[in-house]
Amino acid sequence: MALLSPGSVTVLVTGGAGYIGSHVVKALGEAGYRVATYDNLSTGHDWAVLYGDLVVGDLEDKGRLREAFHLYRPQAVMHFAAHIMVPESVKNPLKYYRNNTVNAVNLLEVSLDFEVETFIFSSTAAVYGIPREIPIGEGAPLEPINPYGQSKVLVERILADCAQAYPFRYVSLRYFNVGGADSQARIGQVSPEPTHLITRALKTALGQIDRLEIYGTDYPTPDGTCIRDYIQVDDLARAHVLALKYLLAGGQSRVFNCGYGHGYSVREVVEKAKEVTGVDFPVVEGGRREGDPPALVADTGRIRRELDWHPQWDDLGYIIKTAWEWEKRWSTR
Ligand code: UDP
């Protein structure tokens, strides 16, 4: 297969105005690729798209999607647009199966109609449910414990079937705990009702939340709180660019974990957030949150070996610092 230069490749990015999508659009733009974002702006923002054009459209609207494919003629698609709130998925599973699963089928149909053979999918460690072993390898059983995780597993299975049936290759990236923001605080996570630990800790430091609650201190971990593998969003974005290069060079369909391969407890994150912000914000110890596995840590051997991905920002302090700079800027916007 002839190697394509980045400038001759257009990537259509669904959800490119959202948190992770916008960092990937930035990484693609910086690497010289042409980018078109397709986003309905339900949770994304037009200002977050730092490179290329933005088409405002819904994945349910196949006519609009076709127009975008017709206009940009992408060689590759990256699919981020999805709902991501686990508790909401438990309350309203059909919303998740429609938006995350059915709409992915729409996108695949249009992609195949336009002969796009290269697809990168935004998946999650939630596909593993409560893992039997730590670190978690990509071959671990897929046993999601909520409709959010299930909606992503279904798409992974559909992708595998498509790769069997059509001239089509994909990479699915299973994200562990994504955090941090752009080093210049131009883009970052925006959530009106944040549930994630780092964001909640920083909003507590800013006085926007009264106190941070630690969900459970009786887990079978060294300090009793849950352990997670936190990855800086720009390192994650680079993994997408490498996955794209891999597929464009003829690589076969593959699934990769995205994490650093080591974890931090909730208490460690809280202590680091206090250190970075310089604010001794109030913390209370509460009961467990339903559905939280004690530890989620990625086995990252595959992505390091096969995509030659090496983290540049494997540092919890840096993750929290970039999130903090972003949070301060966003809160005064
Ligand atoms: N957590 C917490 N207090 C909070 C938010 C989260 O103790 O206000 C804990 C949560 O129970 C989990 C860890 O922090 O053990 C990471 O949660 P987060 O929601 O950030 O990510 P998840 O691992 O659920 O995707």
Please indicate whether residue 200, judged by its CB atom, sits closer than 6 Å to ligand 1.
yes
Residues of the chain with pLDDT under 70: 1-3
Distance from the alpha carbon of residue 199 to the mean position of ligand 1, in angstroms: 10
pLDDT at 3: 67
**Residue 299: strand, helix, or coil:** coil
Distance between terminal CA atoms of the chain? 47
C-alpha span between 163 and 273 (Å, rounded): 43
Q: Torsion over CA of 112, 115, 117 and 120, rounded to 10 degrees? A: -60
DSSP 176-212: -EEE---TTSSS----SS--SHHHHHHHHHTTSSS-E
Q: For the chain, which domains are there?
A: 9-178+232-258 (3.40.50.720), 197-228+261-331 (3.90.25.10)
Task: Name the token pair of 275.
Answer: 């250190």
DSSP H helical ranges for 80-166: 86-91, 93-96, 103-113, 147-165
Please indicate whether residue 329, judged by its CB atom, sits closer than 6 Å to ligand 1.
no
C-alpha span between 12 and 119 (Å, rounded): 10
| Strand pairing category for 169-175 and 254-258 | parallel
pTM passes above 0.95: yes
230 is known as an active-site residue: no
Atom number in ligand 1 closest to CA 212: 8
Distance from the alpha carbon of residue 66 to the mean position of ligand 1, in angstroms: 39
pLDDT at 292: 87
Please indicate whether residue 213, judged by its CB atom, sits closer than 6 Å to ligand 1.
yes
Distance from the alpha carbon of residue 185 to the mean position of ligand 1, in angstroms: 23
DSSP bridge pairs for 105: none
Residue with tokens 């919303």: 95
pLDDT at 243: 98
Please indicate whether residue 292, judged by its CB atom, sits closer than 6 Å to ligand 1.
yes
Distance from the alpha carbon of residue 42 to the mean position of ligand 1, in angstroms: 24
DSSP 67-87: HHHHHH--SEEEE------HH
Determine the residue type at 126. Answer: A
Please indicate whether residue 66, judged by its CB atom, sits closer than 6 Å to ligand 1.
no
